[in-house]
Amino acid sequence: MQNNFPNEGMSVIVKTITRFTVWLIFLYGLYIVLHGHLSPGGGFAGGVIIALSYVHLTLAYGKNFVLARVDKFAMNSLESIAAILFVLTGIVGLYVVGNFLANFMGIGKLYTLISAGYIPMLNIFICVKVGMGLYLVFYYLASFKPQEG
Amino acid sequence: MPVDVWLYFILGFMIIGSIASLEIKNILSSIITIGVVGLGLSLAFLFLGAPDLALVQFVFEILCVIILIRAFAKRSIEVRALRRDVPETIIAIVILASIFVLSIFAFKDLPSFGKPIVRVAERYLAQAGVETGSQNIVTSVILNYRIYDTLGEVTVLFTAILGTFTILRKTGRKKRHAE
């Protein structure tokens, strides 16, 4: 990856180590989300871990490095779209089964990755929402500068 | 050692940590001591056999400490030592002691450790796999049986993030029109 902001962030040691650790953290978050119905974890925990991988990158390389790759507007939109999709899933359940947020997909075979109906799908929505939202909260709180006087 | 002993140890550790975070004058050390409280809570969840909660508490605590450090550690925040008056201290101690005595009566009616009175949990433990197809029973509860709670939780988070954006954005709408 080409770094256009070499003077921001922490030292070379931290940046080098970050290159090895940040994708491990991201993959662990994805694993927690996708196996949320099989092992401990779920959308909330996985989303926070994914947000932490972005925070890790921001702390090591500076905020401009991350913002050059990920648009802030896209993050905002992803977060809102995930919330809307969550509610839309509920409305689909209302039409198909008769209850709001009812499980309208087949339960499938127990102990397999694709099972439990809509639970993995909702986990992914919650993950996107929590991950993007918490990273944006971190970004806004960390880059906020109170006015003097 | 039984679970109870570990819990007493961890809870004592957390109480000491919270008192220390109040008394420390350096703001960075104080924030790190708050982190000790949350990590102790995560350990307590782990000892009680709730790895889901322990995981969530652990990662949230790390995020909270990072946000607090980034938001407050470099600001020059004045720490003023509070001068406590004698009558105020006496009133505070009396109120705390009365709440403590009342809470002893209240806690006597609680069910004993490890024996919940809510019967619906037995049905979840027995039927969750068959009814929802989810191997992880915690997920089957929060995303199937009690999904309206999760919807409320998502809404709360959405509102909190919206509030953060509204307060901390750089230029207000009126100012941008003027430029």
Query: To the nearest whole angstrom, how far is the Cα of B173 from the nearest Cα of chain A?
Result: 17
Q: Which tokens hold the place of A111?
A: 């102990």
Q: Which of A41, A111, A138 sits opposite B66 (nearest CB)?
A: A138
Give me the number of domains chain A comprises.
1
| Confidence band for B103, pLDDT divided at 50, 70 and 90 | very high
C-alpha span between B130 and B126 (Å, rounded):
8
* ipTM greater than 0.85: no
Tell me whether residues B70 and A142 touch, CB distance under 8 A: yes
Question: How many beta-carbon contacts under 8 Å exist across A and B?
Answer: 131
Burial of A50 (0-12, 13-18, 19+ CB in 10 A): buried
Separation of alpha carbons B64 and A141, rounded Å: 11
Confidence label for B16 from pLDDT (cuts 50, 70 and 90): very high
Residues B139 and A111: beta-carbon distance below 8 Å: no
> A147 lies in a domain?
no
Asked, for residue A17, whether it belongs to a domain, the answer is yes
Asked if B29 and B69 touch (Cβ cutoff 8 Å), the reply is: no
pLDDT computed for residue B81 by the predictor: 66
The Cα–Cα gap between A90 and A42 comes to 19
pLDDT higher for A111 or B92? B92
Residue A149 confidence (pLDDT): 38
The whole domain housing A115 covers 12-142
B/e letters for B4-39, b = 16+ CB within 10 Å, e = fewer, are eeeeeebeebbeebeeebeeeeebeebbbbbbbbbb
DSSP category for residue A149: -
Cα distance between residue A97 and residue B146, in whole Å:
17
The rounded distance, in Å, linking the Cα atoms of B11 and B57 is: 15
Average pLDDT over residues A84-101: 84
CB contact under 8 A, B161 and A87: no
How close, in Å, is residue B161 to chain A by CA atoms? Answer: 6
User: What mean pLDDT is reported for chain B?
Assistant: 83
Cβ <8 Å between B157 and A41: no
Q: Determine whether the interchain pair A134/B63 forms a contact, defined as Cβ–Cβ distance below 8 Å.
A: yes
In a domain, residue A85? The reply is yes
